[in-house]
């Protein structure tokens, strides 16, 4: 099935009792049983909910996986993956990733004896260097947030193969429309469904997709034991969002391309980070593993004084100054003080995330209006 058809029909079955074309919101905590242990496969909503199950079916299909689980947030999904590990296990992860993932690893899991190695994942050899018999997981994000670096997913999967190391990919920035890591050999895909999957900035939710039944069962056990499940209303919203993912992504990519080129020729703009540029250091890998380059762009201003950066961030009107991304409306963000403030400054600077970096989530408005807004703000 082609993506446009898949995104609309994934997980959608007419409701058996009424024929309702949209999955009902089963707003219930429990299910009546005929006799002890005699039920319709639904006992308690932390473990089973029909709206959530419909969404999980859709999640699996759109990531070309066999199984999926929906979580109450993206970080809850990441949390469940790390809970597969034991004290003493080691994880290799990127040195340029979502600030909340870094916080979860350093502030929550290190104290339980799990060791994290933060490496530059643009070169696969850097990962190979840290692999030993304690390595149980490679966690990667591509494109990275906010520097738009690209990691070769197939090369990392090949490196881990046969070594009993799971490869998990945070695919939030690309969305399943642009990139399908399971097809490239990853074991787990994670999404913050809060972003492109929902697409309308109205819900917090996470997802995990996988092919291995045993892995799915372990993660389901963690999900039900720890309880980070999404409510049925939120599942309904994400199901609805997925129906338009392909058309939204096409426009995000179109607008992203226009804005990236506009910024690049602007005399007051310095470096522009977007994997679609032919001279982006990982452009060829991006081209190989992604359908297009998305709507996320970061840039620096030539006048990178704190005052000027602040002025530009506060001067846009269509681009709203806010954390998050992937909604239909455009957002502007200052990673150093907002999304990535939980990473110590020295770490950030060392990894190339300057105090003056500005990140855009380019929405699906008219590109001319977006450019006019940026032109006025940059001045
Ligand atoms: C937002 C985000 C997360 C965390 O997801 P939440 O839904 O906010 O918990 C993880 N990874 C990336 C790349 C994100 O953008």
Q: 361: Cβ below 6 Å to ligand 1?
A: no
pLDDT-derived band at 130, boundaries 50, 70, 90: very high
**Residue 296: strand pairing partners:** 361
**Active-site residue (options: 170, 187, 234, 292):** 170
Q: What is the mean pLDDT of residues 280-304?
A: 97
CA of 62 to the centre of ligand 1 (A): 19
Q: 195: Cβ below 6 Å to ligand 1?
A: yes
Comma-separated ranges of CATH 3.40.640.10 domains in the chain: 3-242
Asked if 310 is an active-site residue, the reply is: no
Comma-separated ranges of CATH 3.90.1150.10 domains in the chain: 245-378
Residue 129 has pLDDT above 90, yes or no: yes
Asked if 170 is an active-site residue, the reply is: yes
Pocket residue to mutate for ligand 1, from 70, 141, 194, most atoms within 8 A of Cβ? 194
Q: 71: Cβ below 6 Å to ligand 1?
A: no
* Whole-structure pTM value: 0.96
- pLDDT tens readout for residues 250-289: 999 999 999 999 999 999 999 999 999 999 999 999 999 9
Residue 344 has pLDDT above 90, yes or no: no
CA of 79 to the centre of ligand 1 (A): 12
Amino acid 292: pLDDT: 98
Does domain 3-242 correspond to CATH entry 3.40.50.970?
A: no
Minimal-distance CA residue to ligand 1 atom 7: 74
Amino acid 96: pLDDT: 86
Amino acid 246: pLDDT: 97
- pLDDT tens readout for residues 13-62: 999 899 999 999 999 999 999 999 899 999 999 999 999 999 999 999 99
- pLDDT tens readout for residues 16-28: 899 999 999 999 9
CATH number, span 245-378: 3.90.1150.10
């Amino acid at each position: 099935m082609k993506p446009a058809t898949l995104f609309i029909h994934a997980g959608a079955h007419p409701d058996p009792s009424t024929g309702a074309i949209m999955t009902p919101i089963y707003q219930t905590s429990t299910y009546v049983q005929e006799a002890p242990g005699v039920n319709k496969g639904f006992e308690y909503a932390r473990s089973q909910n029909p709206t959530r199950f419909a969404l999980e079916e859709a999640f699996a299909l759109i990531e070309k996986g066999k199984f999926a689980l929906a979580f109450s947030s993206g970080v809850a999904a990441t949390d469940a993956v790390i809970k597969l590990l034991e004290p003493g296990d080691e994880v290799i992860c990127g040195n340029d990733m979502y600030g909340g993932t870094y916080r979860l690893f350093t502030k929550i899991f290190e104290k339980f004896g799990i060791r994290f190695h933060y490496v530059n994942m643009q070169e696969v050899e850097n990962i190979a260097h840290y692999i030993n018999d304690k390595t149980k997981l490679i966690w990667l994000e591509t494109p990275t947030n906010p520097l738009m670096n690209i990691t070769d997913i197939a090369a990392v999967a090949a490196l881990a193969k046969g070594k009993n190391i799971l490869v998990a990919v945070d695919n939030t920035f690309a969305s399943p429309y642009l990139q399908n890591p399971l097809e490239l050999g990853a074991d787990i895909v994670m999404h913050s469904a809060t972003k492109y999957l929902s697409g309308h900035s109205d819900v917090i939710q996470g997802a995990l997709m996988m092919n291995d039944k045993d892995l799915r069962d372990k993660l389901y056990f963690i999900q039900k034991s720890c309880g980070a499940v999404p409510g049925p209303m939120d599942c309904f919203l994400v199901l609805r969002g997925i129906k338009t993912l392909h058309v939204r992504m096409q426009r995000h990519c179109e607008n992203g391309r226009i804005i990236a080129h506009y910024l690049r020729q602007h005399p007051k703009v310095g470096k522009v980070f977007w994997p679609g540029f032919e001279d982006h250091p990982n452009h060829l890998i991006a081209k190989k593993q992604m359908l297009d380059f998305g709507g996320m762009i970061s840039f620096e201003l030539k006048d990178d004084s704190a005052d000027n950066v602040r002025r530009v961030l506060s001067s846009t009107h269509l681009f709203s100054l806010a954390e998050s991304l992937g909604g239909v409306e455009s957002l502007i963000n200052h990673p150093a003080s907002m999304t990535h403030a939980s990473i110590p400054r020295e770490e950030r600077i060392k990894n190339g995330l300057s105090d003056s970096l500005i990140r855009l989530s380019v929405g699906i408005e008219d590109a001319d209006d977006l450019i006019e807004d940026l032109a006025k703000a940059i001045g």
